[in-house]
Amino acid sequence: MPKELSIPNDFQKIIKDLLGNESDSFFEALLTPSPPSVRPNPSKNFQLTNTSKIPWTQFGKYLNERPLFTLDPSLHAGAYYVQEPSSMFLEKALTHSVDLKQPLRVLDLCAAPGGKSTHLLSLLHPNSLLVSNETIRTRANILSENIQKWGYANAIVTNNDPTHFSKLNGLFDLIVVDAPCSGEGLFRKDNDTLDKWSPANVNLCAMRQRRILKDIWPALKQDGILIFSTCTYNTQEDEETMEWLSQTGDCEFLNIPIEENWGVVETKLKNTIGYRFYPHKAKGEGFFISVVRKKEPVSPLRMHTRQVLGEKCKNEEVKLWLKDPALFRYVVNKGVITAVPEIHYELITFLSDRLSVIQFGISLATDKHGKLVPEHNAALSIHLNKSNFATIALSREQAISYLRKETIEIDTKEKGFALLIYEENPLGWVNLLPHRMNNLYPSNWRIRMKPD
């Protein structure tokens, strides 16, 4: 094998046991660059050139070269998500296991930074509800930012341990667990992961995964679908964890149709079925995924709560801010007016009473003595009625300055709050005053990289 990477002997043995004569090709692939790829937001404007299609997803595209994403305003507008191509195979798993034309209750358990959650939102029926959860608070804040940028109202972001979902008996039609793992599939682009790898850590990750699956299994309804994935290769964290699940709960494993030229490998262990991506076979990073249908019956959950999400909003003006105002209920909580999807109001209220909810609905505005100060979340929402606001189109240079939270020169006679647009997508708000401009971009979101 090549000598440029210091690969632990124990990991070399894992790969040789899995691949045999192909192992040299695998290790050589670790020395090649990772293929850059993005997944456009189908509800926003984004034009791509010099790309090729990722075959297992209708949205994802390979890029011919890796741009400087941080300095692309379209990324910050939520027009696309930078995502590793193998992980987009989630779409193929979904389309062959659930009816995406029906409203679903979905839990993305280990969701940060948001790749799979934003992908789910692009695929799910608009009357579905996605609970996007992250256990670590700092990562949950990043997740919330990316969900807001994507712009869909039918998602709530939570910050909970898997144990907190154990009592939500049969609530979810679909649960996605992109489990914490030893990260073997990331070795070629993350040397820190390679340096931290050890058999002991593999064992620790496998035990953690099984605890997580045990905790959330009761929350999946009978005949509901669990999609389990890792970015690792070893069977202990992949097939053996799935075999453990088959011994723990009554379930069946589902096949996913694959094409031979994709390079995806179907794997089996006893009753389990999984799909593995190797970098020398498929154009992507290391990845494993398995689809499980739960067969055992679940006691029905009674949803009772005395909690309310906020006082009823009496300001009728704010309803003009959305394209379909009748689809939402408007509440005021801590001075912020939020539009909550009417169809999910009771369920979101119930979940807010039992989980640590960071974000729900669309934060529209803060009511300051009758004056509506727009919230950034509203600017990025796909439900925003842009025709209700003064809008100003920005150049790339102006947009980057805005994202750096700098003062920008705008040639306009408009006064008051205005919506800034970059390539047809809203970026955020400014307040235009007689002799100055207030940049309302969130301080904790601003980019610090200097423009090229």
Mean pLDDT rounded to a whole number for the chain: 95
Tell me which of 47 and 1 has the higher pLDDT.
Answer: 47
Q: What are phi and psi of 338, to 5 degrees?
A: -125, 135
Which of 201, 256, 199, 197 is CA-nearest to residue 229? 256
Of the candidate CATH numbers 3.40.50.620, 3.10.450.720, 3.20.20.60, 3.30.470.20, the domain formed by 389-452 belongs to 3.10.450.720
Rounded Cα distance, 435 and 3, in Å: 63
Tokens of 402: 């805005």
pLDDT for 276 equals 98
Asked if residue 69 lies in contact with residue 104, where contact means CB atoms within 8 angstroms, the answer is no
Of the candidate CATH numbers 3.60.20.10, 3.20.20.70, 3.40.50.150, 2.40.30.10, the domain formed by 9-294 belongs to 3.40.50.150
pLDDT digits (tens, 9 = 90+) for 135-171: 999 999 999 999 999 999 999 999 999 999 999 999 9
Domain ranges of the chain: 9-294, 302-373, 389-452
pLDDT digits (tens, 9 = 90+) for 329-356: 999 998 999 999 999 999 999 999 999 9
Q: Is 231 known to be catalytic?
A: yes
The active-site residue out of 205, 231, 251, 313 is 231
Rounded Cα distance, 196 and 201, in Å: 8
pLDDT for 1 equals 39
Residue 324, amino acid = D
pLDDT for 2 equals 39
Question: How many beta carbons lie within 10 A of that of residue 78, not counting itself?
Answer: 26
| Structure confidence at residue 31 as a pLDDT band (50, 70, 90) | very high
Residue 368, amino acid = K
| Structure confidence at residue 4 as a pLDDT band (50, 70, 90) | low
Rounded Cα distance, 164 and 46, in Å: 38
Q: Which residues contact 309 (CB under 8 A, 6 or more apart)?
A: 331, 333, 338, 340, 345, 348, 349, 352, 360
Query: 210-220 burial string, b = 16+ CB within 10 Å, else e?
Result: bebbbbbbbbb
Question: How many beta carbons lie within 10 A of that of residue 234, not counting itself?
Answer: 24
pLDDT digits (tens, 9 = 90+) for 273-319: 999 999 999 999 999 999 999 999 999 888 887 788 999 999 999 99
Asked if residue 148 lies in contact with residue 377, where contact means CB atoms within 8 angstroms, the answer is yes
Indicate the Cα dihedral angle 62, 64, 68, 69, nearest 10°: -20
Instruction: Please state the rounded mean pLDDT for residues 167-184.
Output: 97
pLDDT for 368 equals 86
Q: What is the pTM of this model?
A: 0.96
